[in-house]
């Protein structure tokens, strides 16, 4: 494989490069392909899906009560009268169904813990499942928002006192949340071309790529994590003293390192922003927070400054559902910054949003995100599809009602067992780290080489630029697909392994095959 010109792929995102690696791996026929590149989990939450399906059965019965005389597969929009009594009858007929029991408990939980009227909630769920109305409000259905807010609060605040004094916008996954937020910050003058945006690097690649797009042309300032501890040194936090930095983007726990901010990092960053940068916009992407122990988000620590992006995709095995949220506190820097814009800009924004209300200046930032997601003119058709919102509510209720955290513990256990298996089969002992999450792991080739073969080998490996062809050699010789750390702006030669998407046995094989290829490099080193 030494004849591969790796440089021709250097501008590709890691996810596009993965396709090239798969092509290389497939050059050997009839061999197992082990793709630990993309982090699509091979596990999923079944109980809330059972509930979704059984809700569908009941919703169809409700719809078929109208126009039954037409006998043509024709139904009507249920009016909700007597719906609770009919649901009780439905429960009695359903027998010992997991999904129906879940729905019964969910209605009870919503009433007891969230103060949601049983009839209102059930009728909202039925109509939403049928998808027979436009989303109203377009940001999120009223009772479903209450449920999801409670879930977000419990997951993002950890041991801190929780609050639900924030708004949610249900979106088509975390990626849509990112896209919509950047668009509205530009439309509303909170960001403009040439502004500086700080990124805690290494980071998920779209955060590196979006600021450089021609419609944004932002200047990136890297706030670099220490690649040994994956925490922020104080010297990096102090870069935020530059008032030309308007926005800080954080992925926490980090991707690709899969380590959360420590309590110390959170405290130091919080203190710095509160004391010196109260005007700073922060976006925190916390999709992996639910896999961590005692996770606390910047959304909880710096509520005034922070917009939270959360996706249901990884934790519930729901990448295909496209479920995400944007969360913004009632009192926030985004709204205050808009209100402080010069009058000339305010007049321009009045004109942009004038079709929505006679008082456009009263429109909150999060509701402007909703409007901008449909080019303002189509705001009346904005909003995540209602069946998607129902499944989001089922996922949220699954965890809210799981008082013993059985689902959470199973999720954490499966990825941590895979982590241990991978390293054991490479012959590597890894020190414990309470902030490590293990959804991914970053194999730093320099560090591994030093542990296995010594410093002289590492110097040879770096001087010979072997890190560049490692991925291709691994794919060609073994059929193992990993992603380059460089694509996430990692400095040292490294590869990212997803611990979510293959079997325990396959991680054994990946560990052995990775060690075999490294051993071959060592033989080259010894033979020189």
Domain of 336, CATH number, reads: 3.40.640.10
Read off the tokens for 494. 């490294």
Of 43, 45, 24, 44, the residue nearest 33 (C-alpha): 24
Q: Which of 63-72, 398-407, 451-460, 468-477 has the highest mean pLDDT?
A: 398-407
Q: How many domains does the chain have?
A: 3
pLDDT surpasses 80 at 224: yes
Classify the C-alpha dihedral 30-31-34-37 as positive or negative.
negative
pLDDT of residue 275: 98
Asked if residue 486 and residue 447 are part of one domain, the reply reads yes
Q: How many helices (H) and strands (E) does the chain have?
A: 20, 12
Read off the tokens for 190. 């909170």
Asked if residue 294 and residue 156 are part of one domain, the reply reads yes
The DSSP line for 323-368 is -EEEEEESS-HHHHHHHTS-HHHHHHHHHHHTTT-S-GGG--HHHH
Q: To 10 degrees, the CA torsion angle through 456, 462, 465, 466?
A: 60
The DSSP line for 367-408 is HHHHHHTTTTTTGGG-S--HHHHHHHHHHHHHHHT-TT-HHH
Query: For residue 10, what pLDDT band results from cuts at 50, 70 and 90?
Result: low
Read off the tokens for 355. 């079709």
DSSP code of residue 428: -
What is d(CA 120, CA 130) in angstroms, rounded to the nearest whole number? 16
Asked if residue 68 and residue 208 are part of one domain, the reply reads no
- State the average pLDDT over residues 260-274: 98
Domain of 474, CATH number, reads: 3.90.1150.10
Average pLDDT of every residue of the chain: 92
Residue-wise over 106-145: b if at least 16 C-beta within 10 A, else e?
Answer: bbebbeeeeebeebebbbbbbbbbbeeeebeebbbbebbb
pLDDT of residue 6: 55
Q: Tell me, yes or no, whether 1 lies in a domain.
A: no
pLDDT surpasses 50 at 2: no
pLDDT surpasses 80 at 293: yes
Read off the tokens for 140. 């999120």
- Give percent above pLDDT 90 in the chain: 75
Asked if residue 522 and residue 444 are part of one domain, the reply reads yes
Asked if residue 267 and residue 230 are part of one domain, the reply reads yes
Residues 17-33 have pLDDT tens digits of: 777 888 888 888 878 88
Residues 299, 156: contact at Cβ < 8 Å?
yes
Q: Tell me, yes or no, whether 365 lies in a domain.
A: yes
Asked if residue 320 and residue 436 are part of one domain, the reply reads no
How far is C-alpha 264 from the geometric centre of its chain's CA atoms? 23
Asked if residue 81 and residue 179 are part of one domain, the reply reads no
Q: Tell me, yes or no, whether 37 lies in a domain.
A: no
How distant, in Å, are the alpha carbons of 17, 121, 308, 314, 503 from that of 393?
36, 11, 18, 16, 29
Asked if residue 93 and residue 55 are part of one domain, the reply reads yes
Q: Tell me, yes or no, whether 442 lies in a domain.
A: yes
Residues 250-259 have pLDDT tens digits of: 999 998 889 9
Asked if residue 171 and residue 227 are part of one domain, the reply reads yes
pLDDT of residue 491: 44
What is d(CA 255, CA 438) in angstroms, rounded to the nearest whole number? 10
Residues 117-176 have pLDDT tens digits of: 999 999 999 999 999 999 999 999 999 999 999 999 999 999 999 999 999 999 999 999
Report the run of H or E that residue 507 belongs to, with start and end: helix 504-527
Query: For residue 4, what pLDDT band results from cuts at 50, 70 and 90?
Result: low
Residues 189, 349: contact at Cβ < 8 Å?
yes
Structural domain for 215, as ranges: 142-400
Q: Tell me, yes or no, whether 40 lies in a domain.
A: no
pLDDT surpasses 90 at 471: no
* Distance separating the N- and C-terminal Cα atoms of the chain: 19
> Greatest CA separation found in the chain?
87
Asked if residue 366 and residue 218 are part of one domain, the reply reads yes
Domain of 126, CATH number, reads: 1.10.20.110
Residues 62-114 have pLDDT tens digits of: 999 888 777 778 899 999 999 999 999 999 988 779 999 999 999 999 999 99
Last residue of a domain, one of 376, 400, 424: 400
Read off the tokens for 487. 């694509």
What is d(CA 332, CA 337) in angstroms, rounded to the nearest whole number? 9
Q: Tell me, yes or no, whether 243 lies in a domain.
A: yes
Last residue of a domain, one of 83, 98, 133: 133
Residues 74, 67: contact at Cβ < 8 Å?
yes
- State the average pLDDT over residues 443-455: 88
pLDDT surpasses 50 at 444: yes
Last residue of a domain, one of 352, 384, 400: 400
pLDDT surpasses 60 at 182: yes
Asked if residue 338 and residue 215 are part of one domain, the reply reads yes
Q: Tell me, yes or no, whether 276 lies in a domain.
A: yes
Number of C-alpha atoms within 13 angstroms, CB side, residue 273?
23
Asked if residue 395 and residue 410 are part of one domain, the reply reads no
Of 164, 91, 165, the residue nearest 122 (C-alpha): 91
Q: Tell me, yes or no, whether 41 lies in a domain.
A: no
Residues 427, 452: contact at Cβ < 8 Å?
yes
Residues 318-376 have pLDDT tens digits of: 999 999 999 999 999 999 999 999 999 999 999 999 999 999 999 999 999 999 999 99
Residues 420-442 have pLDDT tens digits of: 999 999 999 988 999 999 999 98
Convert 49-114 into a string of H (helix), E (strand) and C (coil): HHHHHHHHHHHHHHHHCCCHHHCCCCCCCCCCCCHHHHHHHHHHHHCCCHHHHHHHHHHHHHHHHH
């Amino acid at each position: 494989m030494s004849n591969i010109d790796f440089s021709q792929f250097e501008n590709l995102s890691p996810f596009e490069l993965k396709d090239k690696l798969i092509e290389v791996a497939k050059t050997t026929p009839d061999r197992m392909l082990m793709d630990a590149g993309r982090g699509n989990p091979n596990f999923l939450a079944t109980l809330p899906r059972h509930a979704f399906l059984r809700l569908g059965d009941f919703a169809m019965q409700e719809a078929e009560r109208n126009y039954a005389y037409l006998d043509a597969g024709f139904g009507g929009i249920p009016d909700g009268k007597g719906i609770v009594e009919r649901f009780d009858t439905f429960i009695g007929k359903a027998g010992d169904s997991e999904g129906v029991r879940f729905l019964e408990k969910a209605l009870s939980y919503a009433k007891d813990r969230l103060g949601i009227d049983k009839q209102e909630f059930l009728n909202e769920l039925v109509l939403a499942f049928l998808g027979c109305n436009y989303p109203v409000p377009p940001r999120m259905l009223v009772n479903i928002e209450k449920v999801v807010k409670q879930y977000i609060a419990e997951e993002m605040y950890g041991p801190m006192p929780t609050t639900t004094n924030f708004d949610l916008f249900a979106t088509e996954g975390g990626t849509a949340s990112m896209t919509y937020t950047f668009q509205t910050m530009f439309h509303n003058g909170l960001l403009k071309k040439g502004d500086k945006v700080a990124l805690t690097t290494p980071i998920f690649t779209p955060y590196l790529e979006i600021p450089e797009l021609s419609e944004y042309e932002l200047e990136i300032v890297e706030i670099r994590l220490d690649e040994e501890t994956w925490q922020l040194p104080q010297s990096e936090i102090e870069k935020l003293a530059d008032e030309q930095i308007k926005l800080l983007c954080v992925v926490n726990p980090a991707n690709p390192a899969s380590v959360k901010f420590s309590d110390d990092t959170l405290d130091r960053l919080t203190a710095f922003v509160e004391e010196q940068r109260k005007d700073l916009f922060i976006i925190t992407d916390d999709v992996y927070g639910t896999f961590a122990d005692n996770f606390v988000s910047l959304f909880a620590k710096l509520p005034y400054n922070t917009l939270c992006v959360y996706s249901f995709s990884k934790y519930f095995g729901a990448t295909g559902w496209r479920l995400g949220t944007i969360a913004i506190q009632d009192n926030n820097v985004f709204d205050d910054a808009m209100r402080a814009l010069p009058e000339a800009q305010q007049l321009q924004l009045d004109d942009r949003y004038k079709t929505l209300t006679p008082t456009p200046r009263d429109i909150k930032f999060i509701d402007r995100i909703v409007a901008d997601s449909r080019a303002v003119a189509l705001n009346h058709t904005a909003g995540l599809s209602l069946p998607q919102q129902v499944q989001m509510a089922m996922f949220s209720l699954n965890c809210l009602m799981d008082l013993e955290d059985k689902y959470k513990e199973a999720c954490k256990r499966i990825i941590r067992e895979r982590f241990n298996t991978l390293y054991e089969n490479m012959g590597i002992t890894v020190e414990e780290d309470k902030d490590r999450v293990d959804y991914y792991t970053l194999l730093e080739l320099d560090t591994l080489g030093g542990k296995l073969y010594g410093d002289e080998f590492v110097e040879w490996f770096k001087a010979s630029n072997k890190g560049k062809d490692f991925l291709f050699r691994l794919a060609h010789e073994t059929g193992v697909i990993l992603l380059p750390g460089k694509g996430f702006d990692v400095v040292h030669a490294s590869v990212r392994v997803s611990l979510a998407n293959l079997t325990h046995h396959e991680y054994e094989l990946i560990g052995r095959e990775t060690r075999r290829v490294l051993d071959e490099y060592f033989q080259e080193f010894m033979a020189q």
